[in-house]
Amino acid sequence: MTTLTIRRPDDWHLHLRDGAMLKAVLPETTRHFARAIIMPNLVPPVVTAADAAAYRDRILSAKPDGSKFKPLMTLYLTEDTEVSDLRAAAEIGLITAVKLYPAGATTNSASGVRDFSKVKRVLENMAQIGLPLCVHGEVTDTEIDIFDREAVFIDRVLDPIRRDIPGLKVIMEHITTKDGVDYVRTGGDNIGGTITTHHLVINRNHILVGGIKPHYYCLPVAKREEHRLALRAAATSGEASFFLGTDSAPHIDPLKENACGCAGCFTATNTMSVLAEIFEQEDALDRLEAFTSLNGPAFYGLEPNDDTITLTRGAPVTYPDKIESGDGPVTVFDPGFPLHWQVSA
Ligand code: DOR
Ligand code: ZN
């Protein structure tokens, strides 16, 4: 196969930031993607309907001319989130989902949830109106090993919440383990799982062997090879529960190449070429469209995009090593293998 035309993809988990960074990274997504679920972990976070409306407007004004990109906004769930505000935002179509960060789990998550009983009423209301919950699935207890935090979260937090409120639609985001894959796969229609581009490429050795590679550090951190293989099998399976959420998360180089470096891989620029290469390696190019363009909208109850992109196989394609953000350079994810699929929009 040398050309592949698929419905235009969507990104079901994206960090766009704000200000100069937003302006710099947004075109990297809008070039190929029609829609994206926009993460609300700004400083301060997007917690109210008014915050979400203002952020949406800033994104729309930063859009490149002619782009039809649609940001799908989320609210950042806190212990003080008001049901009435959230319901009003959902009713007018301002928000598509709500994001749960356990407090302290990752970048800008200090306002996240500590006591899950305090958000129960909000979650019950979300189940009633069919508003999905996007979950950063890691416990934050200091005694739990960072490589076990996802598996422990499933047992201690996610599964109890889902048993308590079975009608709640949940997206377990950026799954990184075989445990996550199994939980999503066997969890019925109300759970979906997003998988990032970088977790299909790297395992923990890529971060640590032969010198520390800060640009491969993200959260949840990449795990052992057996987990990466489980993620690849899930992503390329075509199964409806799994879809793309890049978690493309820009940080300027000085904050990554730092004694206390930030978590995040910036993959917006080359994601579709990297995915095509992976799906080709797995002999699953015919299932790329399900992963990037069909399963996500189906889970969210939205129509897939009408227009298409075309991927063409040829001589290796190159992408810039870095993009300039106004605040400093942002390094583009290096998959460590040549890319042969050119994307035309
Ligand atoms: O690697 C990550 N970066 N994981 C997250 O959960 C947050 C994100 C960010 O905002 O930089
Ligand atoms: Zn994220």
Compute the distance from residue 145 Cα to the ligand 1 centre, in Å.
18
Instruction: Report the pLDDT value the prediction gives residue 331, as an integer from 0 to 100.
Output: 98
Residue 203's nearest CA partner among 232, 180, 183 is 232
Instruction: Report the pLDDT value the prediction gives residue 111, as an integer from 0 to 100.
Output: 84
7 lines ligand 1 (CB under 6 A): no
What total number of domains does the chain contain?
1
Q: Is 164 a catalytic residue?
A: no
3-state helix, strand, coil in the chain (%, to 5): 35, 20, 45
Q: Is the pTM of this model over 0.85?
A: yes
Residue 279's nearest CA partner among 331, 341, 332 is 341
Instruction: Report the pLDDT value the prediction gives residue 69, as an integer from 0 to 100.
Output: 98
**Rounded to whole angstroms, how far apart are CA atoms 3 and 115?**
50
**Which atom of ligand 1 is nearest the CA belonging to 249?**
11
Mean pLDDT by 10 residues, the chain (345 residues): 95 98 98 98 96 98 97 97 98 98 82 92 98 96 96 97 97 98 98 99 98 98 98 98 98 98 98 98 98 98 98 97 96 98 94
Radius of gyration of the chain (CA): 19
Of 11, 13, 15, 149, which is best to mutate to test ligand 1, by the most ligand atoms within 8 angstroms of its C-beta? 15
Instruction: Report the pLDDT value the prediction gives residue 86, as an integer from 0 to 100.
Output: 98
Contact assessment for residue 274 and residue 201, using Cβ atoms and an 8 Å cutoff: yes
**Identity of residue 11:** D
The closest ligand to the CA of 266 turns out to be 1
CATH classification of the domain holding 135? 3.20.20.140
252 lines ligand 1 (CB under 6 A): no
Residue-number span of the structural domain to which 220 is assigned: 3-343
Of 195, 247, 253, 325, which is best to mutate to test ligand 1, by the most ligand atoms within 8 angstroms of its C-beta? 247
Instruction: Report the pLDDT value the prediction gives residue 110, as an integer from 0 to 100.
Output: 78
* Model confidence pLDDT, tens digit, residues 296-334: 999 999 999 999 999 999 999 999 999 999 899 999 999
Residue 266's nearest CA partner among 179, 191, 208, 333 is 333
* Model confidence pLDDT, tens digit, residues 275-289: 999 999 999 999 999
**Identity of residue 34:** A
**Rounded to whole angstroms, how far apart are CA atoms 191 and 298?**
12
29 lines ligand 1 (CB under 6 A): no
41 lines ligand 1 (CB under 6 A): yes
Alpha carbon distance, N-terminus to C-terminus of the chain? 19
Encode burial over 267-303: b for 16+ CB neighbours within 10 A, e otherwise: bbbbbbbbbbbbbbebebbebbbbbbbbbbbebbeee
Among protein residues, the one with the nearest Cα to ligand 1's atom 7 is 107
Instruction: Report the pLDDT value the prediction gives residue 105, as an integer from 0 to 100.
Output: 76
Angle between the N-to-C axes of helices 83-91 and 49-62, in degrees from 0 to 180, rounded to the nearest 10: 40
Instruction: Report the pLDDT value the prediction gives residue 260, as an integer from 0 to 100.
Output: 97
Instruction: Report the pLDDT value the prediction gives residue 62, as an integer from 0 to 100.
Output: 98
β-sheet with 308-317: strand ranges across? 3-7, 308-317, 339-344
